[in-house]
A and B are shown apart, each in its own frame.
Chain A
Amino acid sequence: MSRAVVLRASGLRKVFGGRVVACADIDFELAAGEVVGIVGESGSGKSTLLRCLAGLAAPDAGTVEIAIDGGERVDLWQLDEVARAQALRSALGLVHQNPRDGLKLGISAGGNVAEPLMVSGIRHYGRLREVALDWLERVEVPRRRIDDLPSTFSGGMQQRLQIARSLAPGPRILLLDEPTGGLDVSVQARLLDLLRSLVRELGVAALIVTHDLGVARLLADRLLVMLRGRVIEAGLADQVLDDPQAPYTQKLVASMLRI
């Protein structure tokens, strides 16, 4: 019944400029294959939290443990830079809100998918191209676009390409920072449906930041609600949305009408 924990944050804290407490006392676990949503108003520390988990920002206190290949967990911020980069490469993928932050704009769509695979050891050109084509198909980017630059893609397609790039190395953890943020509603629906089926098929554990409670209900098994850098409520996603306990969560849910 108890599934393996693939990520654990304990006592996580991040302060900017000595006074802005972006994250404080954050404790949570992500189990293999589950989808956890993070909701909360702008400035509540959601992106900072993801950056600490993804190795992009060093926390001021606390630990981030992630499960690596053998299932063994390592303390991310105790590793030296090289070891940390290596642990992250195969274990964790990050999808930025803005696809331009997660893609290499100067290389082709196929190159964007293949590059992280090359770093992890696959060298054979034909094999790389095959894998890239397969991923483009999975994220519904036409195969014929493999040699095109991502800058020629629509926003929705860029985001799908970013997802392919982050999933191609086969991570067990995927972090997503408002992946549908800048997209039209109709394009969002397609992306969500795609994410939902990919995450299930691959059994990857996902932590998804969203300001859209409808998205949270659709995708997440559990929810964390953040306010001023802290997790103020956590629970089963439908329970948090239908029977919110904290005053702030009640306000947040009430402001979204029917979801």
Chain B
Amino acid sequence: MEPLTDAMVCLRGVGKSFTFHSRGLSVEALRGVDLEVRRGECVALDGPSGAGKSTLMRTLYGNYLAGAGTVRVRHGGELINIAGADPHIILEVRRTTLGYISQFLRVLPRVPTLDIVAEPLIAIGTSREAARERAAELLEKLNVAPALWSLPPATFSGGEQQRVNIARGFAVPCPILLLDEPTASLDAANADSVIALIEEARARGTAMIGIFHDAQVKARVATRQLTLTRSS
């Protein structure tokens, strides 16, 4: 089947197994997954723990190698198959097209919060000044106190780190965004500001795939759902 002409993401027959050589063991995490996501859609991945939701996201991001099938994303005008793509191409797709907000922030020693958020913009050629301005705007929206902006987030609370992570993930307006439990460690008020950012992105036409542990959050942001079951 050919992908829809306006598909932003097109997965066909995606399979993934993990082989643990030391234990002579293989675990099948995904089998025959098909999914197409268009502009402005937000697909919630559903299914029990261990069903392969995170694995699917990571395979889409090129963080895990697909074992079978094609994982195509629209980059510029073209559909590019992430499965088997050269690392340089994956990196380029990630810079401008494919955003990924993981559950945890990987902190860099000594880098202040404002620069952590501004960095992805600077990497695509935005001026330092404009990047910092956008970073400040996002941190403000996510209620990160300005007093924290000049500090590295290593000592921040889990919720604060997650909001820095989300600000960084939204810095570049990527046309495709992957969200792995973005509101997991946040209270209701802070979750609300994240939801507002997600809704804003969707209104702009961003194609999104997300894992939302909270049923209410899911009901508010998802336009449809894909249910995964344990493959093995």
Instruction: Spell out A's residues near B (CB within 8 Å).
Output: 1-3, 31, 34, 189-190, 192-193, 196, 200, 217-218, 221-222, 235-236, 238-239, 242-243, 245-247, 250-251, 254
Interface 9-mer from B35-43, B61-69, B168-176? B61-69
Contacts of B65 in A (CB 8 A): 235, 239, 243, 245
Among residues of A, the one whose C-beta sits closest to the C-beta of B59 is A243
Alpha-carbon separation in the docked complex, A218 to B77 (Å): 31
A34–B65 Cα distance when bound, in Å, is 21
> B87 at the A/B interface (Cβ < 8 Å)?
yes
Q: Is B131 an interface residue (CB 8 A)?
A: no
Which of the residues A200, A239, A250 comes within 8 Å of B64, measured between beta carbons?
A239
Whether B27 is near chain A, meaning CB under 8 Å from some CB there, is: no
Residues of A within 8 A of B92 (CB): 1
Evaluate whether A31 and B88 lie within 8 angstroms (CB atoms) in the complex, with A250-B21, A250-B22 already known: yes
Say whether B90 faces chain A, with CB atoms less than 8 Å apart: yes
Contact indicator A3/B108 (Cβ below 8 Å): no
Q: Is the CB of A190 within 8 A of B87?
A: no
Which A residues lie within 8 Å of B58 (CB)? 242-243
Chain B residues lying within 8 Å of A254, measured Cβ to Cβ, are 22
How many angstroms from the CA of A222 to the CA of B58 in the assembled complex? 17
Contact check, B87 vs A222: say whether CB atoms are below 8 A apart: yes
- Among candidates A221, A242, A247, residue contacting B91 with C-beta atoms closer than 8 Å: A221
What are 11 residue pairs bridging A and B, where the CB atoms are less than 8 Å apart in the complex?
A: A1-B89, A2-B88, A3-B88, A193-B111, A221-B87, A236-B63, A239-B63, A243-B63, A245-B65, A247-B22, A250-B20
User: Closest 8 A-B residue pairs measured CB to CB?
Assistant: A247-B21, A189-B109, A236-B87, A243-B64, A193-B110, A222-B87, A238-B63, A242-B63
Partner of A34, one of B62, B88, B109: B88
Give every chain B residue within 8 A of A1 (Cβ-Cβ).
88-89, 92
Bound form: Cα–Cα A251–B91 in Å: 26
Question: What residues of chain B lie closer than 8 Å to A242, measured between beta carbons?
Answer: 58, 63-64
Beyond A193-B108, A246-B21, 6 extra complex contacts between A and B, CB < 8 Å: A3-B88, A34-B88, A189-B109, A235-B87, A239-B62, A239-B87
Residue numbers in B under 8 Å from A221 (CB-CB): 87, 91
Contacts of A247 in B (CB 8 A): 21-22
Chain B minimum-CB-distance residue to A188: B109
Whole-angstrom distance between the Cβ of B187 and the nearest chain A Cβ: 26
Give Cα A3 to B92, complex, Å: 11
- Interface positions, chain B 97-152, Cβ under 8 Å from A, are 106, 108-111, 123
Nearest B residue to A29 via CB reads B88
Contacts of B87 in A (CB 8 A): 221-222, 235-236, 239
Identity of the chain B residue whose Cβ is nearest the Cβ of A249 in the assembled complex: B21
Minimum CB distance partner of B76 in chain A:
A1
Which B residues lie within 8 Å of A250 (CB)? 20-22
By a CB distance below 8 angstroms, the chain B residues around A2 are 88
Q: Which of B21, B62, B108, B123 contacts A218 (CB 8 A)?
A: B108
Q: A92 CA to B22 CA in the complex, in Å?
A: 40
In Å, the complex CA distance between A226 and B91 comes to: 23
Least Cβ–Cβ distance between A194 and chain B, in angstroms: 9
Closest CB of chain B to A223's CB: distance in Å?
9
Contacts of A3 in B (CB 8 A): 88
Partner of A236, one of B18, B20, B91, B111: B91
Find chain A residues with CB under 8 A from B63 CB: 236, 238-239, 242-243
**Chain A residues closer than 8 Å to B88, beta-carbon distance:** 1-3, 31, 34
Rounded to whole angstroms, the CA-CA distance of A247 and B23 in the bound complex is 10
